[in-house]
């Protein structure tokens, strides 16, 4: 299967630069999985488009202030660093720009020396492995080791009493995708209203459309909800650079499913009711954690699952998602659920109707 088969042309003006207000005022493109015409709604209409016994599963990850701006002390050159994931105490995998000039052995300082990153190694995906220290002290891991959780805060301080997590909060900015050039007035607008577990380098954007009022309307209709965690990293937004789909390698991302969430989903499926994933990261978590019969157990770990046409879904019945970049692994996942030709037809229809695309764009319901 060729990556070119998942290409399409998008007019630049349809890339949403700012979110709509309120969140649930975005448009909703409805793609029936069993065939039939496309439908068009507003996101706040979602409760009426679902059954009273549906279960919505959300990713409650929260975006790190993962974008750091520093300098190389020996040259004064400016460096941008994007946090991806913790590997061990104080050691992180990151992306660096310009990468060619930041080689193993070099250092980068941030905030007039408050934070220092020593580059230890390069990664297979073009990133770097760095060790952070805070103000020359021991630092203290702001995020727990990868084997435990990519979101738990530690409280050990440096010689100046500031933790690594506090240094990230002080110096970092919430990262926006490179196709968004407008400044975001309120950084919280790139967080879901239910975000809880800090650890992502990007937002699970399907969830950006939900409001407290919409959650109330879902509850009133009898629609259930539950939450899991996948920390969005390079696996979700890394471009597909191979010509052949099957040759693409996903980057691992950390996920966690609680006993309560696993039990609720299993009970729901056993009763023959639908499971609706909110976002592709939720899909990837559920499909990773399920056994061959679609049963879930409480677990945490790493996933590099790559879903593309031909995949047999074990857990989900429907999906809420945004419109995705051409040739991306996310577009391939959506095509695995609804069929490539059907999805590309929907995208062309959406372009013709001036839907807004990508992270701050409109949404699609595949059901």
* pLDDT tens digits along 204-233: 999 999 999 999 999 999 999 999 999 998
Q: What is the pLDDT of residue 156?
A: 37
Q: What is the pLDDT of residue 234?
A: 72
Q: Check which CATH number belongs to the domain holding 257 and give it.
A: 3.40.1780.10
Helix spans in the chain (H): 46-49, 164-171, 212-220, 234-237, 259-270, 280-289, 329-338, 340-352
Are 82 and 109 in the same domain?
Answer: yes
pLDDT band at 101 (very low <50, low <70, confident <90, very high): confident
What span, in angstroms and rounded, lies between the C-alpha atoms of 276 and 28? 15
Are 205 and 259 in the same domain?
Answer: yes
Report yes or no on 177 lying in a domain.
no
Are 115 and 49 in the same domain?
Answer: no
Are 273 and 316 in the same domain?
Answer: yes
Are 259 and 349 in the same domain?
Answer: yes
Are 238 and 328 in the same domain?
Answer: yes
Report yes or no on 181 lying in a domain.
no
Q: What is the pLDDT of residue 248?
A: 94
Are 89 and 51 in the same domain?
Answer: no
Mean pLDDT, all residues of the chain:
91
What span, in angstroms and rounded, lies between the C-alpha atoms of 152 and 171? 19
Instruction: Residue 214: name the closest of 61, 56, 38 by CA.
Output: 56
What span, in angstroms and rounded, lies between the C-alpha atoms of 176 and 231? 15
Mean per-residue pLDDT for 303-330? 97
Q: Check which CATH number belongs to the domain holding 129 and give it.
A: 2.40.10.240
Are 90 and 237 in the same domain?
Answer: no
Report yes or no on 178 lying in a domain.
no
Instruction: Residue 305: name the closest of 280, 284, 336, 281 by CA.
Output: 284
> What are phi and psi for residue 115, nearest 5 degrees?
-130, 135
Q: Indicate the helix (H) or strand (E) that contains 112.
A: none
Are 256 and 345 in the same domain?
Answer: yes
Are 117 and 24 in the same domain?
Answer: no
Report yes or no on 294 lying in a domain.
yes
Mean per-residue pLDDT for 98-106? 90
Is 90 exceeded by the pLDDT of residue 239?
A: no
User: What is the tally of structural domains in the chain?
Assistant: 2
Instruction: Residue 81: name the closest of 114, 113, 107, 61 by CA.
Output: 107
Lowest mean pLDDT among 26-35, 37-46, 100-109: 100-109
124-147: per-residue pLDDT in tens? 888 999 999 998 554 444 443 333
Q: Are 263 and 229 in contact (CB under 8 A)?
A: no
What domain range is 80 assigned to?
Answer: 67-171
- Quote the crossing angle between the two packed helices 329-338 and 340-352, to the nearest 10°: 110
Q: What is the pLDDT of residue 235?
A: 63
Are 211 and 272 in the same domain?
Answer: yes
* Final residue belonging to a domain, choices 137, 171, 205: 171
Are 215 and 329 in the same domain?
Answer: yes
């Amino acid at each position: 299967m060729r990556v070119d088969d998942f290409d399409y042309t998008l007019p630049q003006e349809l890339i949403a630069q700012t979110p709509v207000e309120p969140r649930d005022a975005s448009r909703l493109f409805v793609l029936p999985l069993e065939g039939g015409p496309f439908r068009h709604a507003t996101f706040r209409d979602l409760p009426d488009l679902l059954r009273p016994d549906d279960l919505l599963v959300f990713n409650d990850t929260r975006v790190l202030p993962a974008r750091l701006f520093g300098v190389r002390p020996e040259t004064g050159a400016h460096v941008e660093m994007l946090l991806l994931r913790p590997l061990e105490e104080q050691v992180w995998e990151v992306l660096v720009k310009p990468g060619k000039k930041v080689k193993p052995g070099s250092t980068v300082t941030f905030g007039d020396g408050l934070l220092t990153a020593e580059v230890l190694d390069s990664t297979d995906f073009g990133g770097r492995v760095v060790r952070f220290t805070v103000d020359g002290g021991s630092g203290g891991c702001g995020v727990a080791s990868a084997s435990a959780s990519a979101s738990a805060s530690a409280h050990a301080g440096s010689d100046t009493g500031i933790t690594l997590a506090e240094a990230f909060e002080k110096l970092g900015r919430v990262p926006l995708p490179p196709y968004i050039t407008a400044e975001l007035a309120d950084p919280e607008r790139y967080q879901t209203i239910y975000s809880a577990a800090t650890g992502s380098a990007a937002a699970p954007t399907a969830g950006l459309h939900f409001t407290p009022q919409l959650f109330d309307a879902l509850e009133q209709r009898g629609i259930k909800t539950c939450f899991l965690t996948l920390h969005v990293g390079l696996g979700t937004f890394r471009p597909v650079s191979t010509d052949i789909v099957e040759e693409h390698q996903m980057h691992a991302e950390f996920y966690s499913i609680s006993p309560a969430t696993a039990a609720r989903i299993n009970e729901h499926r056993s009763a023959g009711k639908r499971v609706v994933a909110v976002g592709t990261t939720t899909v990837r978590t559920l499909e990773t954690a399920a056994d061959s019969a679609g049963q879930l157990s409480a677990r945490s770990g790493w996933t590099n699952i790559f879903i593309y046409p031909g995949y047999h879904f074990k857990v989900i019945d429907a999906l809420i998602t945004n419109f995705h970049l051409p040739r991306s692994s996310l577009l391939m996942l959506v095509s695995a659920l609804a069929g490539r030709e059907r999805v590309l037809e929907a995208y062309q229809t959406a372009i013709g109707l001036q839907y807004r695309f990508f992270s701050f764009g409109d949404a699609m319901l595949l059901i």
